[in-house]
Chains A and B, each alone.
Chain A
Amino acid sequence: ETGVTQSPTHLIKTRGQQVTLRCSSQSGHNTVSWYQQALGQGPQFIFQYYREEENGRGNFPPRFSGLQFPNYSSELNVNALELDDSALYLCASSQTTGYSEQYFGPGTRLTVT
């Protein structure tokens, strides 16, 4: 059973650029949630995807968007990057949208200069 994987590991972008982050969910999981974690803070919920549909969104602007594919892998896209977008981006997969445990990937460290 493979765990949750994310790519890339690190990324440096310039303000105003666009970025795409990728996540492969754990085998058997159909739900992916994305989180932003600033240094010293807890993860902040961005949105969740269940069977290719967005299933809830946190307090993030529309320039944060996502996709889920038929194999349940997922992408997070961020347009018009701002300096405050610098953070660790985590994805987590779970078996259902119900109250099941979430398993996190190693994260992508995004730095915006």
Chain B
Amino acid sequence: QQPVQSPQAVILREGEDAVINCSSSKALYSVHWYRQKHGEAPVFLMILLKGGEQKGHDKISASFNEKKQQSSLYLTASQLSYSGTYFCGTGGYTDKLIFGTGTRLQVFP
């Protein structure tokens, strides 16, 4: 039931773009994206709701394909501060978040 994220790890140079994918085997009502830096708590980035509503970050965008039960997070013109582990959290009808396997992103100068 845990959503699967891909890729597992990404290495970027500053200014490059990245896409992180999240796929679930269950019907989704919401997808949440978080970034966690080493030794810190996860930080909210974005939430996407069934029906198209989105709330989130100015410099990060995401998509939510309800039929395919997939979401993708788009990081453009990456900055050093984007480094960390990205988790998607998927919410079914019961609305309890199940977090994905994580994607480790490293941005170098």
Contact = CB atoms under 8 A, between A and B. Distances in A.
B43 A43 contact: no
Given A44-B99, A48-B96, A99-B49, A104 B43 contact: yes
A105 interface: yes
A35 B94 CA distance: 16
B95 A43 contact: no
Given A106-B40, A106-B41, A43 B99 contact: yes
Given A43-B42, A106-B40, A100 B47 contact: yes
A70 interface: no
The B interface is mostly helix, strand or loop, or mixed, namely: strand
B30 interface: yes
Interface in B61-109: 87, 89, 91, 94-102
Contacts of A41: 102
Contacts of A66: none
Interface of B: 2, 29-30, 32, 34, 40-44, 47, 49, 55, 87, 89, 91, 94-102
Interface of A: 33, 35, 41-45, 48, 56, 58, 90, 97-107
